[in-house]
A and B are shown apart, each in its own frame.
Chain A
């Protein structure tokens, strides 16, 4: 298979996924506002948990668990959107 530009782009996204343990763990903008303005407690727990907080459950090494979650997510999103785009193109031609 010939190497195409988007193979490089997908590898770039996966490299970012590998860097995910370096992310800042500070609360994000909305969480910061919720803490400062006193409504953070109104947040409800999720109904179910699969890979909560981008950490794959049951792995002792947190960085490894984060990288695994990031790679799963990146590939899953790629597969879904690539498949969706193919489907839409086929539909448009019909």
Chain B
């Protein structure tokens, strides 16, 4: 879902950069008070995993592929603000080194895949585990649904950005983006649940860190 330059107008790209910069500044403040010894390597390996996993596009229907975003996973494990920092690092390196996602669109990409997806993923997961309890299978279901929804909501926001930019009418962009990402999101949900299961089996204590 990396937006290249040209898909969104200058005002939309600028607004994206302003919102992203504000959120990153707050994320630095919010995380520096809560950063513990355990979180330091977790932040590094989680970001490394998300980058590598994002390269592994999986095919879905109709000659289309999708890949993990990872924002929901990061926000579930480390909290939404640390998640914003992780996704910002991943998206910035993808943009600057690998020319994936436009330079001027970086702010909008951080808003969609770092902030919106992370917050949706984190709070749907917390709501799910609050309502259905913290038993193993229920945690995985909550995480999977949260991750699926994080992708769909991010794609809806992306459709609005395209429409506001005058690139494509909202009535065209919205069903197309939400439809294809409802399928891609299934992969996101499955991968997120699988990683949560792996964390539970090896380092269950890490699931209790999610506050920062």
Please report A residues at the B interface, Cβ cutoff 8 Å: 4-6, 9-10, 12-14, 16-17, 19-20, 22-30, 32-34, 36-37, 39, 42-44, 46-54, 69-70, 72-82, 84-86, 88-89, 91-92
Contacts and interface: CB of A to CB of B under 8 A. Distances in A.
A43 B47 contact: no
Nearest to A5: B203
A37 B176 contact: yes
Contacts of A29: 1, 64, 66, 155, 177, 180-181, 184
B53 interface: yes
Chain A CB count within 10 A is highest, among B45, B102, B203, for B45
Nearest to B182: A29
Q: Is the interface of A mostly helix, strand, loop or mixed?
A: helix
Interface residues of B, number: 68
A46 B99 contact: yes
Given A6-B45, A28-B66, A42-B6, A76 B93 contact: yes
A24 B63 CA distance: 9
Contact of A22 (B56, B63, B168): B56
A84 B26 CA distance: 15
Nearest to B162: A39
